[in-house]
A and B are shown apart, each in its own frame.
Chain A
């Protein structure tokens, strides 16, 4: 459908809508910069870019994993690996030379971390939305994503309350690949995974369409911008849990007795405005960016799906599990898989393996839960 297919009055209305959307988003970033500081306005714009790139190029994480498992189509995963490799090539030297100013997404591998990643992989296939995907889906009017999102946030908060107990089950020492050797190990490992998915994939499936190459370039550039501006890699889960924690605290519950929220860094986040929290700003930007692209394409008029009650119940439970499990796994597909691997954390690789195994079972749960026709 092209703009030329509309009558002149319709085209004027469409262009006015688009101009209004762009102005409104730029105004929002300006207001945040004026109220909180230029860095925070820029982070909102980076989040907006993530949302626009993910929705505009239809780039995701859950969908490509599903395509690989069900149809042996490797292109989406190869685009993910390309984006991670591009970030790693720049991020490793930056992290090595700017010690202290920049931090990676580094966490230890542990029993709860691996189990959390497995559950996250299954749950993200049930709702067909990962951390970033749930935000994009909700922002573009997908009812499943919109219902899963608040429960994702609640789950993330609940996971934070119990994180100490879960990590106490056992963790290995922190392993971080760094420097030239660490980068070489990471790139070789990414290449080996790429070779494996190409080998397992259908013949000719490894050829990346232009859309996915552009998406990988855009996501990598935005992830690096996130690192350089915020001093930390792209993440999603922390911001969602913080929103609920602030609501709970606002309702009169004292969180100072909880080890997670009593920790100085988290206590400071609880007291400070969301407009100064990195992941909250990028999450808000992703919601707005996905909305902007959906409205730009006139893709908001589609009717909502008619799903059975058990499907909506499954979405609520899967949303809770997404949040809870990603908190235990020290991140979702963004904070652990994408940012973890691209900044040298071994836990990113462990997350990838466990979540991919969970995805295998999550895909099989979807038809049983009424979320798609049984095959």
Chain B
């Protein structure tokens, strides 16, 4: 076994997580997506970050 096997297994696992999640989460809608850049969008930042306490 070499590093290629491990690296490919990790990537397949990550793709698997995303694929499984696509079926279980809210349907994607690119037309409701926020603007390309948060800066200048006029919208409040809404993403989640590890430094933010739960709110």
Residues of A within 8 A of B (CB): 33-40, 42, 94, 98, 100-103, 105-108, 138-143, 146, 149, 163-164, 167, 227-233, 235-238, 242-243, 246-247, 250, 259-260, 263-266, 269, 271-279, 284, 287-288, 291, 294-295, 299-304, 326-327, 330-332, 335-336, 339-340, 345, 347
Contact = CB atoms under 8 A, between A and B. Distances in A.
Nearest to B45: A231
Given A39-B35, A231-B38, A287-B11, A299 B26 contact: no
A173 B51 CA distance: 14
Contacts of A34: 30
A91 to B, nearest CB: 11
Contact of B1 (A107, A275, A303, A340): A303
A298 B30 CA distance: 37
Interface residues of B, number: 45
Nearest to A141: B3
Contact of A271 (B25, B43, B46): B25
Given A265-B54, A300-B2, A238 B28 contact: no
Nearest to B30: A37
A98 B41 CA distance: 10
Contact of B38 (A33, A143, A229, A238): A229
Interface string B11-36: 10010011011101110101011111
Given A98-B39, A101-B45, A228-B38, A279 B50 contact: yes
- CB-based closest 5 A-B pairs: A37-B33, A141-B3, A231-B38, A231-B45, A141-B7
A242 B47 CA distance: 13
A142 B39 contact: no
A274 B10 contact: no
Contacts of B11: 139, 287-288, 291
Contact of B47 (A231, A236, A243, A294): A231
Contacts of A98: 39-40
Contacts of A247: 17
Given A102-B38, A107-B52, 8 more contacts: A146-B7, A231-B45, A238-B48, A265-B54, A273-B22, A275-B18, A279-B48, A304-B2
B3 A35 contact: no
A116 B22 CA distance: 33
A140 B3 contact: yes
A274 B32 CA distance: 16
Nearest to A264: B55
A274 B21 contact: yes
Contact of A101 (B2, B33, B43, B52): B43
A304 B24 contact: no
Contact of B50 (A142, A235, A274): A235
A271 B7 contact: no
A277 B47 contact: yes
Nearest to A260: B54
Nearest to B9: A146
A171 to B, nearest CB: 9
B55 to A, nearest CB: 6
Nearest to B3: A141
Contacts of B51: 105-107, 233, 235, 330-331, 335-336, 339-340, 345, 347
